[in-house]
Amino acid sequence: MTRVSTTPPNVLLIIADTVRADHLDLFGYNRITTHHLTRRLQARPGWTLFDRCYSTAGWTLPACASIITGQNPDRHGLIDHSRKFTTEKIAGALRATHRTVGIGNNGNLVSDAISVETLEGLGLKRRPKKWNHFGWNEGFDRYEWYPHDQHWKALNKARRLLNRWQSDPTPWFMMLHTNLAHDYNLDRPYYRATEHFLDGPLDERLHDFRDGPEVWNELADDVPNLTEQIIAKYDSGLRRLDRSLDQVLDVVDLDNTIVAIVSDHGEGFDPELGRVHHCGRMHEDLLHVPLIFFTPPSVYGSSPPPPRQRFVRSVTDIVPTILRMTNAATGAKHDGADLFGPERHRSIFAMDSAYVYRPDERPIRRLSSDQGPLSVQSVINYPLKSTSYSWEPDVAVSGQHHLVYDPLEVREPFEADTPLAAVTVVVDFDEYAHNLGASPDVRSGALELEVINNTDNAAGDGIGPLYANATTSQQSGPIVYLHPDVYLPEGWVTRTQHALAQLDELDPFWAVAGIAGRARGSIDRGETGIGHWSDPHGYRAFGILPHQVDVVDELIIIVRDRSVDFDASMPGFHCYGTDICATAQAAGRTVWVIDSFAWHKMRKSNRELVTHADRSGKITNRAEEGFSDEFTLSATYVKDKWDGVQPLQGMTEYWRDFYGVG
């Protein structure tokens, strides 16, 4: 997507404070909170909704700094109340070509009106600085602050300026930061308009309450349906925000204006899990934020962007995208990437060095860095997420979650009732160490793994005989045969055992299972594979599982029992999946794909994350490694073996090209 017009487009960056993605019907919420934005997105091309955008922090200061710098908190430096910006913001990069104006009503992190007692309840020993202390307004020609609770003043000022600029050819950049959704605790008519969501009136004690965890501790036993009522106030605020942003967009010339609407963080409403308010933790209710981006015709020309993107993105991606679309020069380094770049795996970082909510403590209490060193961090390699919390010298909590299986991040680690037997053949032990060898269930012994050393083909020159003659293969099944470059997330063995038990009830004649597969003729029909996995091409979730197929991918093959076995005479290291599936089907047995996610080629031998296909040496170097000759050796054997006996199906285009059918 290259810019069509020679005049730089205008840029409107809207930061809607404290908006959870999953509380907008645009993102699947069961309440109508974004009627106007939904209508607007449907009215013209150019709008793109990003389903999986993540913030870099659970509170405003570091998260907003990431939005306007394109950098993670450890790079931009604004990680707590004692720091200042150390890098260029987007306003500075655009200042040479655009007038730059900032408008916001979050000028104080904590209002001057809040008492010392309330500050202490928030875990603060001193009143935080105002935003201009952090260098927030640097790089702007003009920055206008409005009181924290006077949302309408900031929004009205933005509308007046935008309306005036329509007749001025000078390109402009405006950053509008609104606290309208954040301040649902206040007594305002639009927050109290809960009749859309509540059967009865809002409890008077919730008309105006303190911003923080206190309401959950103080009123839990006194207010019926406390959580339901607080959520109703929040959702009512989102309805007002939707209407207000629509009014702002009404005065914008969208033919030549880039628009980015994003939130800095979400909000918590789960007191039972200790997840209320925001900051101090890294759960999805805080980090998963809405991102809506408009690309004007002056940029996209005759090829508008897709209306929806399901790739994982970060709030740090906004600045690099805008700078590319405006051809703005900058010397700053960015952690973000172009929003419209290719799909790729990436690590999404988030951190908080200012606050922590102790997950084990009741009443709910927030600690601040004023009270001692602390750290909260998360790393998302979607769909896997690792988190760590530490406070005081000797207290630390960590965990790993699968965001598809466990979106609320509440499951305890799976413990397998019995181990599962497995076999792998290893050529590159560094690659093995950072993938299969690093898998939690391998380290714990839940997967009883037989490792066959085949460096330089020391054990043999064919995968069929290596699998067939493995010591583990002499046991009764089921037995898992898997690549050494597969990473199994925590709980994989238990999840697989449950899936196989389900399959036993569904089809007593199954013989072979996997986590990815194909039905006969699917390649020719242009269909995707079936399964749930990640590989260097990205995250994959296709089909309703379990699903009967004709072949499973060789990255993981599960053989039910020894009545179906690998061919000990088969040469080479390819097509053995096709062969064993044909063996099962020729015997009247079935082949299935189950839902037990794994990550194929997650890390390279040097431990670096494989971000996309051209970063995987095994994919890019196949021609140099004589892949075609190796494949032909195995494929010819399988073709001759089953010719006229059993129809065959392969997983890839290599198979189709060899046989002429797919």
- pLDDT on residue 119: 47
- pLDDT on residue 411: 72
- Distance (Å, whole) CA 479 – CA 473: 7
126 pLDDT higher than 80: no
- Distance (Å, whole) CA 609 – CA 619: 15
Average pLDDT estimate for 176-182? 96
Residue 645 neighbours by CB distance under 10 Å: 9
Split at pLDDT 50, 70, 90, the class of 82 is low
Give me the amino acid identity at 367.
Answer: L
Do 436 and 515 share a domain, yes or no? Answer: yes
Do 522 and 461 share a domain, yes or no? Answer: yes
Do 375 and 443 share a domain, yes or no? Answer: no
Which of 23-37, 264-278, 393-407, 443-457 has the lowest average pLDDT?
393-407
Average pLDDT estimate for 415-428? 87
Domain limits for position 86: 10-402
Give me the amino acid identity at 342.
Answer: P
Average pLDDT estimate for 444-460? 88
Average pLDDT estimate for 103-110? 68
The four Cα atoms 596, 600, 604, 605 give a dihedral, to 10 degrees, of 80
Helices and strands of the chain, counted as H and E runs: 20, 29
Which of 396-405, 489-498, 555-564, 650-659 has the lowest average pLDDT?
650-659
In a domain, 414, yes or no: no
Q: How many residues does the chain have?
A: 662
- Distance (Å, whole) CA 172 – CA 623: 51
In a domain, 357, yes or no: yes
Tokens of 173: 């950049």
108 pLDDT higher than 60: no
Do 553 and 606 share a domain, yes or no? Answer: yes
- pLDDT on residue 122: 47
- pLDDT on residue 649: 80
Do 390 and 427 share a domain, yes or no? Answer: no
Tokens of 423: 């076999």
- pLDDT on residue 618: 55
- Calculate what percentage of the chain has a pLDDT beyond 70: 89
- pLDDT on residue 131: 60
Residue 99: its H or E element: strand 99-104
Summarize pLDDT for 26-46 with one digit per residue, the tens: 999 999 999 999 999 999 999
Do 124 and 257 share a domain, yes or no? Answer: yes
- pLDDT on residue 277: 93
Q: Look-up: residue for tokens 């009143």?
A: 127
619 pLDDT higher than 70: no
Q: How many domains does the chain divide into?
A: 2
- pLDDT on residue 452: 96
Do 481 and 612 share a domain, yes or no? Answer: yes
Of 60, 58, 70, 160, nearest to 105 (Cα)?
A: 60
Tokens of 546: 């379990």
118 pLDDT higher than 70: no
CB 533 within 8 A of CB 493: no
Average pLDDT estimate for 56-66? 94
Summarize pLDDT for 537-559 with one digit per residue, the tens: 889 899 999 999 999 999 999 99
Summarize pLDDT for 192-204 with one digit per residue, the tens: 999 999 999 999 9
Do 225 and 367 share a domain, yes or no? Answer: yes
Do 600 and 635 share a domain, yes or no? Answer: yes
Average pLDDT estimate for 563-585? 94
B/e letters for 324-361, b = 16+ CB within 10 Å, e = fewer, are: bbbebebebebbbbbbbeeebbbebbbbbbbbbbbeee
3-state DSSP call for residue 306? Answer: coil
Half-sphere exposure at residue 127, Cβ-oriented, CA atoms within 13 angstroms: 12
- Calculate what percentage of the chain has a pLDDT beyond 90: 63
Do 385 and 474 share a domain, yes or no? Answer: no
In a domain, 247, yes or no: yes
Split at pLDDT 50, 70, 90, the class of 124 is very low
Residue 32 sits in a domain whose CATH number is 3.40.720.10
CB 280 within 8 A of CB 259: no
In a domain, 408, yes or no: no
Do 389 and 451 share a domain, yes or no? Answer: no
What mean pLDDT, rounded, does the chain reach?
A: 88
- Say what the pTM is: 0.88
